[in-house]
């Protein structure tokens, strides 16, 4: 038993050292401004760990250190096709999380985070919409970081909405440009790095407009609740290496 405890302490110390080493190394290089996450694997995590879907979803990762904008794909329009019990569970979890996330001693307070919830919010129930409104109102003047939470969202719907709003504002299709469409998107800033957990290779209709020819897509085998600081550090170090290679080529 003593040997087991000793090995555990050694392993813990090694992991902490590796985390600190990766974090310090990461800070020495360029930092992506906008990182987007497709948070996949919550239900698989729940099944593997014999917990409910809600408990699986609650094991989410915190804001990435040093990155200005983080966008999370929390709930797709397609998710409304799931069994109603799952949808209700996710909505209750979302409501509770939003009401707690901007409280004292949270990452929002620490990093002065502005929370923006985007998508077809009119499709949500009144309690969730009320929680969203209170959260956004409470953080609207924060100037440090930005956290975009995409709910009742798909990229195709975002693009279609932006086209309608641009046509309405311009009055002529001849005035529609890439810039005018970008101005009417839910999220205007291009994505520097896209990360998907659970090992699934697809974009699931997320931020198709904001991704560009230099946006790398990292698919990580871990389920979202298991995706931690070490995993993030490894992904960011790979991003830095690729970016430096691109700069050398130019």
Higher pLDDT: 112 or 225? It is 112
Asked whether residue 33 carries a pLDDT value surpassing 60, the answer given is: yes
In a domain, 107, yes or no: yes
Q: Do the Cβ atoms of 194 and 214 come closer than 8 Å?
A: no
Instruction: Quickly state the pLDDT bin for 159 (edges 50, 70, 90).
Output: very high
Calculate the average pLDDT of the chain: 78
In a domain, 25, yes or no: no
Give residue for tokens 């979803």: 57
Q: What is the CATH number of the domain that holds 45?
A: 3.40.1180.10
In a domain, 87, yes or no: yes
Burial of residue 202, with CB atoms counted within 10 A of its CB: 0-12 exposed, 13-18 middle, 19 or more buried? exposed
Radius of gyration, alpha carbons of the chain: 20
In a domain, 161, yes or no: yes
pLDDT of 219? 93
pLDDT of 107? 76
pLDDT of 96? 78
In a domain, 19, yes or no: no
pLDDT of 65? 59
The pTM for the full model equals 0.79
pLDDT in tens, 52-97: 444 333 325 545 457 888 998 988 998 888 888 888 888 887 887 7
Residue range 144-168: average pLDDT? Answer: 91
In a domain, 5, yes or no: no
Instruction: Quickly state the pLDDT bin for 248 (edges 50, 70, 90).
Output: low
Instruction: Quickly state the pLDDT bin for 51 (edges 50, 70, 90).
Output: very low
Asked whether residue 167 carries a pLDDT value surpassing 80, the answer given is: yes
pLDDT in tens, 179-228: 999 999 999 999 999 999 888 888 899 999 999 988 999 999 888 778 87
Instruction: Quickly state the pLDDT bin for 18 (edges 50, 70, 90).
Output: low
Instruction: Quickly state the pLDDT bin for 28 (edges 50, 70, 90).
Output: low
In a domain, 18, yes or no: no
* Residue numbers of the domain that contains 204: 30-249
In a domain, 79, yes or no: yes
CA dist., res. 41 & res. 223, Å (int): 4
Of all residues in the chain, what percent carry a pLDDT higher than 90? 28
pLDDT of 235? 86
- Taking residue 9's Cβ as centre, other Cβ atoms within 10 Å add up to 10
Q: Do the Cβ atoms of 49 and 133 come closer than 8 Å?
A: no
Beta bridge partners of 145: 113
Total tally of structural domains belonging to the chain: 1
- Taking residue 18's Cβ as centre, other Cβ atoms within 10 Å add up to 14
Cα(first)–Cα(last) distance of the chain, in Å? 57
């Amino acid at each position: 038993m003593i040997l087991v405890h000793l090995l555990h302490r050694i392993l813990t110390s090694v992991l902490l050292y590796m985390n600190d080493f990766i974090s310090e190394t990461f800070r020495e290089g360029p930092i992506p401004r906008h990182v987007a996450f497709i948070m996949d694997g919550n239900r698989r995590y729940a099944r593997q760990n014999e917990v409910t879907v809600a408990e699986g979803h609650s094991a989410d990762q915190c804001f990435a250190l040093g990155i200005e904008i983080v966008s999370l794909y929390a709930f797709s329009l397609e998710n409304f096709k799931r069994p109603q019990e799952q949808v209700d569970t996710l909505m209750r979890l979302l409501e509770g999380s939003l009401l707690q996330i901007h409280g004292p001693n949270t990452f929002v307070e620490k990093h002065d985070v502005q929370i923006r919830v985007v998508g077809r919010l009119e499709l949500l129930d009144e309690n969730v919409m009320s929680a969203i409104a209170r959260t956004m109102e409470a953080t609207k003047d924060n100037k440090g970081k930005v956290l975009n939470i995409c709910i009742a969202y798909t990229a195709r719907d975002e693009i279609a909405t932006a086209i309608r709003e641009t046509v309405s504002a311009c009055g002529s299709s001849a005035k529609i440009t890439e810039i005018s469409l970008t101005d009417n998107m839910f999220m205007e800033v291009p994505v520097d790095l896209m990360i998907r957990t659970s090992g699934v290779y697809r974009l699931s209709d997320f931020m198709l407009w904001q991704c560009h020819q230099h946006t790398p897509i990292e698919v990580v085998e871990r389920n979202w609740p298991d995706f931690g600081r070490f995993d993030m550090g490894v992904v960011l170090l790979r991003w830095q290496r690729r970016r430096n290679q691109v700069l050398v080529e130019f």
